[in-house]
Structure 1
Amino acid sequence: MGVTVYDTADLPPEHRFEWWRETVSNGAGPTRLTTDRPADFNGSMSVVSLGATRLAVLDFPPLLSERTARLIRQSDPETYEMTLLLSGGMNVSQSRQDARLRAGDFNLWTSSRPYVGRGTSDGDDPGPSRAVVLHLPRADLLLPEARTDRLIARALPSATGIGAVLAHHLVSVVQEAAFLAEGDGERLGDVTRDLATAFLAHCASATDRLTPESRRRLLLRRLDLFIEDNLSDPGLSPPAIAARHHISVRLLHKLFAERKEAVAETIRRRRLERCSADLLDPTLSALPIHAVASRWGFTDAAIFSRAFRNAYGLSPREHRHRHGVRLRTC
């Protein structure tokens, strides 16, 4: 799956800001951008296409962004723009609402109403702002528009719950996009849209409007994230996972059966993948193989060795040696 990268560093300094303004306007609709230092402007943008949904990562210095009524009449893509601010700060205004955003906040705005956003340097982080922006077609967001619009120009949290799930997902998609197959885009677009819808529904107290399919996908994503975050725990098991998410073990197995991989198989596969990566990491070459296994939840060295050989056709030691990583006796 392709990632398109735009960087002002590839252009002569005198053309950088004008090019940035045109590129941003092509993505989010005509927008008036101004900066105090256009001659020194440096910005970059990476765009991931997920079918009708689009994801972009922007790095930019402090600037003013305005979408006026005149610009909206000129062209309106009719989207909601969801921003996850990763660093820096931002002040936003739309629909008579104002918000001060800090790193870790989500924000929602619509291309169909006048908007003002000002990127600022955070007191603790004086460098450029960095943000992930999710472009969502309004027609695809199956929530009451009146409830969704109550969330415009508000700081929405990403530290816990569904906000944390969505933030983790967006960052992961951006990080792994270059390594995904072309056909993954549409499927990831569906998952991303469902997670964004679930997050907004939660914030707008409209979870009753989620479709059963959206609820299922959201639960599966939360289960995936929980497993990923707890691979090092030897006690990670189907009963523990089900109890943590207040569902039955039977439902848990049913959800994973649709993927053709049982819960225990998923846990084992992800643990083995982590062990494989650690065994090939030069910075961990002094770590004994049994310690690598232990740090990812394997408590029995013999069971780990058999499972690793079954998965990779080599023993952990052979795997490490074949890739030229210095060995240490267990």
Structure 2
Amino acid sequence: MDIVVDDPATFRGRVRGHAAGELVFAEVSAIAHRAVGTGRPGAEAYCKVLLPIQGYCLLSQAGRQVVLGPNEVAVLDMSQSYLVVFDTACRMRVVVCPRRVLRLPASGVDAITATALSHPATALLTVLLAGMTARTAEFGSAELLRLTDTVIDLVGTVLAAHASAGQAARHGVLHQVKTYLEHHLDDPELSPAMAAAAAHLSIGYLHKLFRAEGATVCGWIRQRRLECCRADLIDPALFELAVAAVAARRGFVDAAHFSRLFKLTYGVPPREYRILNGLGNFPAR
């Protein structure tokens, strides 16, 4: 993590914390600064749970942003890049834990980073973290480990609740995007950027939504265009349309390229596909 400050000569900050089992508890206090997480791809995935107790901060990760205030809770994925910005003096409690101890699917955590987490258990978590950072010396090793298990259960409870809600929200957003794409398949200029702008999403988050389904935005557009063309080719009402015209009305501007894609997908060229499906008695155009 890199710390960016306006004036290094006057910057003041402190991190006070300790490890308990596999978790690290810390309290951070500092004047205005930016913390840039560079990510650790390939390393074991860790989550950073943040809870401001003084001041407001802006969190940004994976195309999402949220302003977090006192006693609000959010989580960041330390294996991916992220940004935390404080415009004024701040104090924040932090818990770092391996993602595996939360017993949640990676996709569930990924969907709720940089999001304010609201749940009845967050009030309990707030009180517990205050004790874990301020009164550590009063606990024995065994007590700390038992409290650590409680923290893991509370964090997991909050994240699981939001992961379920987040999954439903993602499905809703994805449906909205796909509906937009369906309505614009005839536009040769249709692009991920257009779809992202229409849904008020970042392009990065849009790509992430499709990757979760094992697809890409451009690949999905291409496949739907081909499926529509296949249906048009065997539609008796469109038998007078030339193959190139069928392709053009679905956004394919290059007839030769369309024919290659169609054959690659369905095994035969589009005209032959028409003939095989009983619509071959028309002039070759």
What is the alpha-carbon root mean square deviation over aligned residues? 1.8
Match of 2:23 in 1: 53
Identity of aligned residues (%): 24
Please, which runs of 5 or more residues in structure 1 have no aligned partner? 1-30, 122-127, 207-330
Select which of 45, 49, 57 maps to 1:78: 45
Match of 1:185 in 2: 144
Deviation of 1:95 (Å): 0.7
TM-score, normalised to structure 2, is 0.54
If you compute each CA radius of gyration, which structure gives the higher value, 1 or 2?
A: 2
Indicate if the aligned counterparts of 1:49 and 1:185 stay in contact, CA closer than 8 A: no
Q: Distance in 1 between matches of 2:131 and 2:6?
A: 33
Match of 2:77 in 1: 110
What is the total number of aligned residue pairs between the two structures?
A: 165
More deviation, 75-84/134-143: 75-84
Which amino acid is 2:23 matched to? T
Q: Distance in 1 between matches of 2:157 and 2:124?
A: 10
Matched, 1:44 2:14: yes
Match of 1:99 in 2: 66
Which amino acid is 2:157 matched to? A
Matched, 1:173 2:132: yes
Select which of 61, 64, 81 maps to 2:34: 64
Q: Distance in 1 between matches of 2:44 and 2:86?
A: 23
Deviation of 1:142 (Å): 0.2
Which amino acid is 1:189 matched to? T
Please, which runs of 5 or more residues in structure 2 have no aligned partner? 166-285
Deviation of 1:148 (Å): 1.8
Which amino acid is 1:99 matched to? V
- Once the two structures are superposed, what CA deviation does each residue of 1:244-302 show, in whole Å capped at 9, x if it has no partner? xxxxxxxxxxxxxxxxxxxxxxxxxxxxxxxxxxxxxxxxxxxxxxxxxxxxxxxxxxx
- Once the two structures are superposed, what CA deviation does each residue of 1:111-152 show, in whole Å capped at 9, x if it has no partner? 11111111122xxxxxx2100101010121101221222110
Deviation of 1:104 (Å): 1.9
Deviation of 1:34 (Å): 1.0
SS across alignment from 1:205: helix
Match of 2:266 in 1: none
- Once the two structures are superposed, what CA deviation does each residue of 1:14-52 show, in whole Å capped at 9, x if it has no partner? xxxxxxxxxxxxxxxxx1211002111211222122200
SS across alignment from 2:32: coil
- Once the two structures are superposed, what CA deviation does each residue of 1:153-191 show, in whole Å capped at 9, x if it has no partner? 11223xx61111111111122232111113322222111
Indicate if the aligned counterparts of 2:23 and 2:95 stay in contact, CA closer than 8 A: yes
